[in-house]
Chain A
């Protein structure tokens, strides 16, 4: 899903940077942040559902990366390792939130700011506000529905569907077998489908086949 930009290409060829980062090279560490910040942020956003928690999780993940990268044994496992850190913080923040539910007093910056798709659409003459509205509505429904899945299913669904991780990589992140990951993914997708159906989101009601 994400191997389409310069950033993504750089992510795939970052072995040299990881090696330098392991040696404490600050420039390399900053390069890793630049390469991975957006991915981890979007992963956490889909897991946590709200921008404030997402900011928190993403920042904690990279601070943990700075502190512990020297202990990373295999540079090839960097991706799984980073997602594992992010996943642990997602779980932790999510549980904290369940124990102490809060209501934000202000609208978060990210609630109002539009994403990059605005910029893309704005380039065209035929900017369609209705389409944009539908897009935001779909995103809202998906976020809340993902939030209804259990921890394990939600993690696997997001990692596979949005982060494009291979089954082996997800298995490394979760310290589980590939078969377990696949079974959990099937259950997660089926449950997500059922949740959406309860919200009257089906193939017939939403024309998402286009």
Chain B
């Protein structure tokens, strides 16, 4: 028996495109050649793994169709850039404020000159970087409000796009209505409902992403705050421990002095 399936035949076998008779021949051959059988099985597993790569959603740009077809960069992309830019600036400022707040960054002038410092400038004063519940609440409130504002901006942007698309579709429907035959009408309806579905998905997606980002941000914020409190507690404990050690040492010294004097 000299039968040996070539790669093309094996591909047809994998995709189930062989006749029953030929399929049996390949199966028999594979049963006698475990190495090749393993390879075929691994390729089948790979196909399942590849199925995990889902299609990306994409909104087509506007094409201008004249003698030289070209693309208009769609409005939402510009809006995206603007929103992203604004968000980036706002985020940078927020980070600077946060860093300044936590490090007690201060700039001051006095008779001694111009001072840029982290923490309190006066050497007599102890650092008073204590946070009370009220300040944290108000700070978190501000952060959430800023975040909500960004979210509203994004939603406004999407609404703007939806309106534009809706206007475009309405125009499409009205133009040359007489000439549109029934099949086109059905196709257009299905296309409109598809676009509506996609738009709904985009909004749901946007809300989900914004909500998740907000949650992550708050989580991170709380974790940082917890770390800060923990570090402060550790430092306080060390100071207390140092004082206790010093107290113990002085007690021992006093006892020793008493003992020597006796």
Partner of B205, one of A31, A62, A116, A186: A116
Within 8 A of A (CB), among B44-100: 45-50, 52-58, 60-61, 63, 65, 69-71, 77, 80
Total A-B pairs, Cβ < 8 A: 148
In the assembled complex, the Cα of A58 lies from the Cα of B127 at a distance in Å of 59
Interface residues of B toward A: which range? 35 or more
CB-CB contacts below 8 Å: A114-142 with B = 114-120, 122-123, 127, 129, 135, 138-139, 142
Query: Is A122 touching B205 in the complex (CB atoms < 8 A)?
Result: yes
Q: In the complex, are the beta carbons of A139 and B52 less than 8 A apart?
A: yes
Contact A37 B58 (CB under 8 A): yes
- Is residue A77 within 8 Å, beta carbon to beta carbon, of the partner chain? no
- Whether A10 sits at the interface, judged by CB under 8 Å, is yes
User: Which chain B residues border A97 with CB–CB below 8 Å?
Assistant: none
Taking the complex as formed, is B183 at the interface, i.e. its CB lies under 8 A from any CB of chain A?
A: yes
Contact B58 A38, beta carbon cutoff 8 Å: yes
Whether a CB of chain A sits under 8 angstroms from the CB of B254 is no
Q: Cβ of B194: which chain A residues have Cβ within 8 Å of it?
A: 5-7
- Residues of chain A having any CB pair with chain B under 8 Å: 2, 5-7, 9-10, 16-17, 26-27, 29-31, 33-34, 37-38, 41-42, 45-46, 59, 62-63, 66-67, 109-110, 113-120, 122-123, 127, 129, 135, 138-139, 142-143, 160-162, 167, 178-179, 182-183, 185-187, 189-190, 192-193, 196, 201, 203, 206, 208-209
Q: Is the CB of A183 within 8 A of B42?
A: no
Task: Tell me which of A7, A119, A203, A209 contacts B202 (CB under 8 A).
Answer: A119
Chain B residue at minimal CB-CB distance from A28: B184
Q: Do B69 and A67 have beta carbons less than 8 Å apart?
A: yes
Is B149's CB within 8 Å of the partner chain A? no
Residues on A with beta carbons closer than 8 Å to the beta carbon of B77: 109
Binding site for A on B (CB under 8 A): 6-12, 14-15, 17, 39, 42-43, 45-50, 52-58, 60-61, 63, 65, 69-71, 77, 80, 172, 175-176, 183-184, 187, 190-191, 193-194, 198, 200-202, 204-205, 207-209, 212
Give the contacting residue for A162; candidates B49, B53, B204; CB below 8 A: B53
Contact A142 B46 (CB under 8 A): no
**What residues on A are CB-neighbors of B9 within 8 Å?**
182
Q: A6-B190, A29-B65, A63-B70 are in contact. Are A206 and B8 (CB under 8 A)?
A: no
Nearest CB of A to B170, in Å: 14
Which has the most chain B C-beta neighbours within 10 Å: A27, A59, A187?
A27
Give the distance in Å from the alpha carbon of A142 to the alpha carbon of B55 in the complex: 13
